[in-house]
Amino acid sequence: MFSWLKSFIKGLVLLLIVFFVGSNLWVWSAGWNRTYTDANQITPGSVMVLLGAREFIENTKIPTGSYQPRIDAAVKLCKSGRIKVAVLSGFDDQSWNMARQLRAAGVKCTLVMDPYGWRTIDSVHRAAAYYPNQTIVFVSQEWHCDRALWIADRIDLRACAFTADFGEGWRPISYFLRDCLAKPKAVIDWIMGSKLTTNAATNEGNVVFK
């Protein structure tokens, strides 16, 4: 009896390892030849979606390490003249803060705050609902963009990515490692029907930043 149980546990562990590694490779492959660092490779007239992050560790003034590189990449892309609309997707405070910083940095294109991009899956589905026939350019770290592109592929959203620098310090490394768990979670979400985090309609709630 115990030998059967041991075999079952070993088989289950092996299955989990295969799923973890396989799903990471699958999601990672979505970014092959679709993530760019040169703005000239982006299609003119694209819609940029800046994926949200917290600027500081909660209840502190310690930078997260990932936020500022995303802002810098978004500013660079917008100033290239290839973006007609920039969507700032995250929680309400994140989207407002990103919009404010982009405008302060001299970005002139239309800025749209998406306060319901609570998770990457929400940001992607809301971009598809608002801009179904447009080319979407996700902006974040490469490991994050791969996941956004994989989700976009599941709903036939035409998309690519403009990647931000990895960031400095140990915190960006911790976010990268956490994303290794988020990738299998993305596959599970898709298998379970891609239920979104918020109850807001995907084509409602966005606000133009004034």
Q: 36 with 160: CB under 8 angstroms? A: yes
Q: Strand, coil or helix: what is 77?
A: helix
Residue 1 has pLDDT above 80, yes or no: no
So where are the chain's domains?
2-208
On the question of pLDDT at 60 being above 90, the answer is: no
**pTM greater than 0.85:** yes
Look at 33-42, 44-53, 56-65, 197-206 and tell me which has the smallest mean pLDDT. Answer: 56-65
Q: How many CB atoms lie within 10 A of CB 207?
A: 14
Given pLDDT bands bounded at 50, 70 and 90, which one contains residue 4?
A: confident
